[in-house]
Structure 1
Amino acid sequence: MISICIPIYNFDVSALITALKLQIEQTQMGCELLLIDDGSEERFKRINRNYSAECQYVELEKNVGRSKIRNLFLSYATQPYLLFLDCDVVIDFPNFLQNYLDQLPLQPKIICGGRLYPKEMPDKNRMLRWNYGVQCESQPSGVRALYPNKSFMTNNFLIEKELFTSVRFDERLTQYGHEDTLFGYELSKRNIHILHIENPVVNGDIETNEEFLKKTEAGVENLIHILNFTNYDQQIINSIRLLKTYQRVKILKPILKPIFSLINPILRNKLIKKGNSVMLFNLYKLGLLFCN
């Protein structure tokens, strides 16, 4: 019934595979495990190769990026539904897989299960990712369903193979960030609405403040690419709070750009040291847009 698709990059998936195998055995349904390594370091590949006998395991010679690797699973999946999981997630629900299987009689097109973060606060040098995740990403299904396509995240979703064949991730996006935003937008254009259920995974790898800021900077660059890809479509601008804010104040760019050029390095250092303010983080992202 389901091809479980796990793109891997520099991570040991042993715990995730063990949890999934147990749930596959419990459900006694036709599920397959597919692993594709996206150019990881050799030390991670050595560990994950141990599962090549029990899963379909593929290694790419070089990193192709988050969009292309997800599309690549279509070449290997044999089941009518694909369940995508990030390699660093932790499955905390004993009925996680069954919860998705229970939805299949409804013939859903695409389902999002949601995301949680560890309850215990991390060290100070990882607080930014944790704070942002808890405040902005860990939303119950009822809240996510209010804006179904805007709330799409790639870390934990199930999609009909036939739909995914026709609506793929845009491979022009090769670095981190907002490939999920563009995918949700493409679904909206086709009047396909995402079903949100309460079936979250836990983010099991909290990046350092500096690592998260580097990813954020790449994500803002991707946002600019997306604006160009979509010819500044108002629909996608309205779906992203950062872009809506930028649109409202961009008339002040001659004034704000030099200001942000001065304060953004200060904001960055403050976020690296403390990482306790999502408001400052959002201001920093706005500054990145003005300075690009």
Structure 2
Amino acid sequence: MINTLSILIPTYNNVCVELVKSLQAQASLLYSSSDSLSLSSHFEYEILVADDGSTDERTIEGNRIINTLPHCRYIERKENVGRAAIRNFLAREAKYTWLLFIDSNMNVISHQYLANYLKEKESDVVYGGYQIKRDAETRERLKYNLRYIFESAGTQNGNHLQRQANPYADFHTSNFIVKRSILLKHPFDERFSHYGYEDVLWGKNLKDNHIPILHVDNPLGYEHFIGNMSFLYKTEESLRTLYQFRNELQGYSKIIDYAHKLKRWHLYPPCQYLFPLLSLSIKARLTGNKPSIFMFNIYKLLYYIHLDI
């Protein structure tokens, strides 16, 4: 059972004060009433937020209030080092045995969120998942938002049993707990300085070292959906990362698998030829009022293949 916890939140150009307040409120209750969890000793915690070189001064100023909250610290870093390096930095800064990593754009949806993790003792790495709102009002408001449509199609994110069936491939860094000693021994690969896939390679690293991942039903909420064009740019950046590390990520990406099939079927050159002809019309569809997951998947595959020129 866990009785010391470092809650670690990397952030970039995002005010996450409300997330920190929610976590601090739950942690303070556990801190003052540890006996309710039958802990052998008093529960200790800290919340560290590391700003990864944000460029928005209003965001930085907004997050400074975190320093006024008990057991909380906001660390301002001038240089953007990327999603892998900032997590390794937070792990080194942490002082407790267990680390809980949370993305700054998530929100707490359960009053028992921290308590649920404190009861876990079956694995050195535990992933809680995330879920999105699916009520009628949200679906109507975001019916043309590509990111929302994409997340809605990923039903395994909210189903821990489906995730456990493929535990290493269905792992994300948005909400997981890990022993500090594990992460210090197996840090995130800091070659991943751009967006995407650092979590996938870390999951592969755990598998290669026979470290199990336990998937549980302890989600955070995800409610911040960027616009279609911004999401497409992020997707393209992640595909460039995927291509850069394609050898290490063999077997951990459906896009790589499909690309290999097309190459075996001698369809690679036609796809490379088609991309510049079709990309603008597909992007117009994806950023317009009728985005399609099917067309999104086609675009990703064609974009990835066109990188191999």
TM-score by length of 1: 0.93
Contact kept? 2:157, 2:163, Cα under 8 Å: no
Moved more, 31-40 or 121-130: 121-130
Q: Offset of 1:138 from its aligned partner?
A: 2.8
* Letter matched to residue 10 of structure 2: P
- The residue number in structure 2 matching 1:267 is 282
Task: Provide the rounded CA distance (Å) in 2 between the counterparts of 1:7 and 1:124.
Answer: 27
Q: 1:73 to 1:275 in 2, by over 3 A?
A: farther
Q: Give 3-state SS (helix, strand or coil) of 1:176's partner.
A: coil
Contact kept? 1:125, 1:209, Cα under 8 Å: no
Q: Do residues 37 (structure 1) and 51 (structure 2) align?
A: yes
Alignment of 1:236-251 (within 5 A): 236-250=249-263, 251=266
Q: Give 3-state SS (helix, strand or coil) of 1:83's partner.
A: strand
Q: Do residues 258 (structure 1) and 273 (structure 2) align?
A: yes
Alignment of 1:98-113 (within 5 A): 98-104=115-121, 106=122, 108-113=123-128
Moved more, 146-155 or 125-134: 125-134
Alignment of 1:189-208 (within 5 A): 189-208=208-227
- The residue number in structure 2 matching 1:233 is none
Alignment of 1:60-139 (within 5 A): 60-104=77-121, 106=122, 108-119=123-134, 120-121=138-139, 123=141, 127-136=145-154, 138-139=157-158
Q: Offset of 1:121 from its aligned partner?
A: 2.1
Alignment of 1:186-225 (within 5 A): 186-225=205-244
Contact kept? 2:13, 2:59, Cα under 8 Å: yes
Alignment of 1:174-185 (within 5 A): 174-185=193-204
Alignment of 1:220-235 (within 5 A): 220-228=239-247, 230=248
Q: Offset of 1:123 from its aligned partner?
A: 4.2
Summarize deviations over 1:209-246 as a string: whole Å, max 9, x none: 11110110000011012124x2xxxxx43221111111
Contact kept? 2:103, 2:175, Cα under 8 Å: yes
Contact kept? 1:125, 1:208, Cα under 8 Å: no
Task: Provide the rounded CA distance (Å) in 2 between the counterparts of 1:7 and 1:64.
Answer: 11
Q: Offset of 1:122 from its aligned partner?
A: 6.2
Contact kept? 1:261, 1:287, Cα under 8 Å: no
Unmatched 5+ residue regions in structure 1? 231-235
Instruction: Tell which structure's C-alpha radius of gyration is larger.
Output: 2
* Letter matched to residue 143 of structure 1: Q
- The residue number in structure 2 matching 1:278 is 293
* Letter matched to residue 126 of structure 2: I
Contact kept? 2:144, 2:288, Cα under 8 Å: no
Contact kept? 1:126, 1:207, Cα under 8 Å: no
Task: Provide the rounded CA distance (Å) in 1 between the counterparts of 2:140 and 2:18.
Answer: 20
Q: Offset of 1:126 from its aligned partner?
A: 5.8
Identity %: 30
Contact kept? 1:173, 1:179, Cα under 8 Å: yes
Q: Do residues 4 (structure 1) and 7 (structure 2) align?
A: yes
Task: Provide the rounded CA distance (Å) in 2 between the counterparts of 1:275 and 1:141.
Answer: 31
TM-score by length of 2: 0.88
* Letter matched to residue 14 of structure 1: V
Unmatched 5+ residue regions in structure 2? 32-42
Q: Give 3-state SS (helix, strand or coil) of 1:56's partner.
A: strand
Task: Provide the rounded CA distance (Å) in 2 between the counterparts of 1:219 and 1:164.
Answer: 23
Cα-Cα RMSD: 1.5
Q: 1:222 to 1:162 in 2, by over 3 A?
A: same
Alignment of 1:53-64 (within 5 A): 53-54=68-69, 55-64=72-81
Summarize deviations over 1:50-95 as a string: whole Å, max 9, x none: 1113312211112111111001012210111110000010110110
Q: Offset of 1:156 from its aligned partner?
A: 0.5
Task: Provide the rounded CA distance (Å) in 2 between the counterparts of 1:81 and 1:242.
Answer: 34
Q: Give 3-state SS (helix, strand or coil) of 2:64's partner.
A: helix
Task: Provide the rounded CA distance (Å) in 1 between the counterparts of 2:223 and 2:100.
Answer: 18
Q: Give 3-state SS (helix, strand or coil) of 1:158's partner.
A: strand
Contact kept? 1:124, 1:274, Cα under 8 Å: no
Q: Give 3-state SS (helix, strand or coil) of 1:290's partner.
A: helix
Q: Offset of 1:125 from its aligned partner?
A: 8.3
* Letter matched to residue 23 of structure 2: L
Q: Give 3-state SS (helix, strand or coil) of 1:37's partner.
A: strand
